Amino acid sequence: MIDSLQLTAKYSVATPADWKDGEDVIVVPSVPTDEIPSRFPKGHKIIKPYLRTTPQPNK
């Protein structure tokens, strides 16, 4: 849980309920889609306009 909270505070991402360290995370809706490539250079997937995932940024 601490890892999840630290990720949220530092990178503006959220983690699913069953998330494990190293898995993809969710980009919070407050991050504009056009900013995702510069903030998350490992890539991202757009599942729905409000649901975007990216590899865990600190791994």
Other CB atoms within 10 A of residue 52 CB: 20
Mean pLDDT of 12-17: 94
Decide if pLDDT at 1 tops 90: no
pLDDT digits (tens, 9 = 90+) for 20-32: 999 999 999 999 9
pLDDT digits (tens, 9 = 90+) for 27-55: 999 999 999 999 999 999 999 999 999 99
pLDDT at residue 57, rounded to an integer: 95
CB-based contact 45:52 (threshold 8 Å)? yes
User: Which tokens sit at 12?
Assistant: 């503006």
Locate tokens 């809706």: which residue? Answer: 29
Q: What does the domain layout of the chain look like in residue ranges?
A: 2-54
**DSSP code for 31:** S
CA 21 to CA 19: how far, in whole Å? Answer: 7
The pTM of the full predicted model, rounded to 2 decimals, is 0.90
2-54 to CATH, choices 3.30.300.130, 1.20.810.10, 3.30.1020.10, 3.40.220.10: 3.30.1020.10
Decide if pLDDT at 59 tops 90: no
